[in-house]
């Protein structure tokens, strides 16, 4: 499979490989378990273009729903009570605001309010698009706050496949976000994905081991890619370039639960912690990690970088201004490591 090339005129390219891996996981789960069904607005049309194998092989388990996100998710909760394992495709993350009651007040509590029954499995799938004020918002932290929900955000095709398979094979209600701002990277092979170890929800991935004494960067989603690209390119052609950006990188992969053990291990090597998140910094995932670090490892120096608490610009040329920049990341590392 050939990777897409990121045009210079556009700040982001929708990640085809991430989408294909998650849909391959859906296909494999439907092939292995007849209880898995796919629901969504325009679902049959979307599957026809994005995953024709699902349409061809499981036509009776692909269901187009009315244009009512709240009602569709409530319907899927009812279906789960009958033994169905629904995947409800809400398309854009912004549409989740219309389904807050059905997700947080119904789906999240379905496994608490029916004691004695087998726990239900429900997956709510949505995409971050960054397409403007009403088609690019990131509500992930809102769901991380709700008891009964787990929230995953893969940043590679391998993780997209593994997390979807795990979400569909274990009991629980999972909010599954695809960060489509991530540009395509290395192609994936279905055999490698399907035969590899499962990706446990709540298990972070240490993407990069930095030098001892440098900062550890905790991140997720599109910022994982941007941070790794910055660290890989820094100092090329100039080995004496300052500051030292040989930092470690932890990809959370899920923002609830969070892998505190991985963060603790990395901080034992480094001593400085930088959280770089694509969501709004105020009240975000970084604030929770910083508070934990202050309580558990008070000698660790901590800084946070996140999106501004502002409406996403409508102009595509300004979308990049909503996220932490390379210059801000370098400045934060410099500040952390200058003591």
Same domain, 191 and 209: no
Write out the two tokens for 143: 């769901």
What is the dihedral angle through the alpha carbons of 245, 258, 21, 111, rounded to the nearest 10 degrees?
A: -170
What's the maximum distance between 2 C-alpha atoms anywhere in the chain?
64
Structure confidence at residue 320 (pLDDT)? 73
Write the CATH number for 29.
Answer: 3.40.50.970
| Number of compact structural domains in the chain | 2
Asked whether residue 92 is domain-assigned, the answer is: yes
Distance in angstroms (rounded) separating the CA atoms of residues 65 and 44: 9
**Neighbouring-strand partners of residue 150:** 174
Whether 301 and 263 share a structural domain:
yes
pLDDT single digits (tens) 95-141: 999 999 999 999 999 999 888 889 999 999 999 876 778 887 899 99
* pLDDT value at 289 more than 60: yes
Q: Which of 174, 195, 216 is the last residue of a domain?
A: 195
Cβ proximity of 253 and 220 under 8 Å: yes
- Whole-structure pTM value: 0.91
Residue 212, phi-psi category: left (phi > 0), alpha (psi -120 to 50), beta (remainder): beta
pLDDT at 233 > cutoff 90? no
Q: Tell me: do 77 and 154 sit in the same domain.
A: yes
Say whether both 131 and 233 belong to one domain.
Answer: no
| 8 Å CB contact between 122 and 86 | yes
- Taking Cα atoms as reference points, which of 226, 225, 206 lies closest to residue 216? 206
| 207 contacts 228 by C-beta, under 8 angstroms | yes
Its domain, for residue 92, covers: 16-195
| Within a domain: 110 | yes
Return the CATH number at 263: 3.40.50.920
């Amino acid at each position: 499979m050939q990777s897409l090339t990121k045009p210079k005129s556009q700040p982001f390219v929708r990640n085809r490989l991430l989408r294909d891996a998650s849909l391959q996981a859906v296909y494999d789960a439907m092939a292995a378990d007849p209880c898995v069904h796919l629901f969504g607005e325009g679902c049959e049309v979307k599957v026809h273009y994005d995953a024709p194998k699902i349409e061809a092989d499981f036509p009776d388990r692909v269901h187009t729903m009315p244009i009512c996100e709240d009602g569709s998710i409530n319907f899927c909760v009812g279906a789960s009570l009958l033994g169905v394992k629904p995947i409800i495709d809400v398309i854009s993350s912004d549409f989740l605001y219309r389904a807050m009651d059905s997700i947080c007040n119904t789906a999240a509590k379905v496994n608490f309010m029916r004691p004695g029954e087998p726990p239900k499995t429900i997956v709510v799938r949505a995409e971050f698009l960054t397409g403007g004020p009403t088609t690019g918002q990131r509500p992930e932290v809102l769901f991380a706050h709700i008891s009964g929900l787990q929230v995953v955000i893969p940043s590679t095709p391998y993780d997209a496949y593994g997390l979807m398979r795990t979400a569909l094979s274990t009991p629980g209600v999972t909010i599954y976000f695809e960060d489509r701002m991530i540009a395509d990277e290395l192609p994936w092979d279905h055999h490698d994905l399907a035969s590899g170890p499962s990706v446990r929800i709540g298990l972070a991935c240490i993407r990069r081991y930095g030098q001892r004494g440098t900062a550890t960067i905790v991140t997720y989603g599109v910022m994982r890619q941007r941070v790794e690209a910055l660290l890989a390119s820094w100092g090329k052609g100039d080995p004496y370039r300052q500051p030292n950006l040989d930092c470690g990188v932890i990809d959370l992969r899920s923002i609830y639960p969070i892998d505190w053990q991985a963060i603790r291990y990395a901080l034992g090597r480094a001593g400085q912690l930088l959280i770089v998140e694509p969501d709004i910094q105020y009240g975000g995932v970084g604030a929770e990690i910083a508070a934990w670090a202050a309580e558990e490892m008070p000698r660790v120096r901590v800084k946070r970088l996140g999106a501004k608490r502002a409406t996403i610009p409508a102009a595509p040329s300004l979308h990049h201004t909503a996220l932490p920049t390379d210059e801000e990341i370098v400045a934060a590392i410099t500040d952390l490591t200058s003591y």
